[in-house]
Amino acid sequence: MEKSNRIIKAVKRRSAKRRKTEKFGLEAPRPNDVRRSLCIDEETGTRHWSNALAKRVKTVLPALKILERDEKVSPGYNYIDLMTIFDVKMDLTGKARICARGDQIDTPPSVTYASVVTRESIRIGFMLSSLNDLNILPADVAGAYLNAPCTEKVYAILGDEFGDYAGRKVIIKMALYGLKSAGYSWRSFCAKN
């Protein structure tokens, strides 16, 4: 009993440290706090958070099918919340990530497993390229998961960060970050192409 209490206290201390509201001297709003992010911009006379939100909304909108105001969602779709997570990047610009709350629905285990490359495989690849005098070109896929179709049937209601679309229902048609099947969808998409 005493050991489990110590473990619980240690976990609480760690999670309290993670809930910092400042990073690099700038206030970072808590997740899902869009209003506070816009207030920070107003208070400081900057547009850090509003620019980050606008950039992310522009990236995420093509992954959503926006329904008309009076249009109903087809049967078989599950409701899921969206949340916005804020962070400060190394160059002191704001970063916002719009994620789905994948914990709110039950996803079959068959669509949640996504294999990953091991560190050893990467090292072997580097060694082979070095032995054969080959160049290695790194790449980053912006909004990677948003390129893969969503395997789950989910819909959401848009929040304030979506401006004129706030309050509208959307069907999530691409693998949004936070969905349990997003990694599997992205891996399957890459394997096919």
Q: Would you say residue 74 lies in a domain?
A: yes
In a domain, 30, yes or no: yes
Query: Does residue 134 fall inside a structural domain?
Result: no
CA distances from 22 to 16, 17, 59, 92, 145 (A): 13, 11, 26, 12, 28
Within a domain: residue 91?
yes
179, part of any domain: yes
Cβ count within 10 A of residue 118? 9
pTM, 2 dp? 0.73
* 180, part of any domain: yes
Task: Quick: pLDDT tens for 144-179.
Answer: 888 889 888 999 999 888 888 989 999 999 999 989
Number of domains present in the structure of the chain: 1
| Of the listed ranges 68-82, 108-122, 126-140, the one predicted with least confidence | 108-122
Name residues whose C-beta falls within 8 Å of residue 32's C-beta, 6 or more positions apart in sequence.
83, 84, 85
Flag whether 129 is in a domain. Answer: no
With tokens 């179709």, the residue in question is 149
Domain that holds residue 83: 20-106+144-192
Specify if 94 maps to a domain.
yes
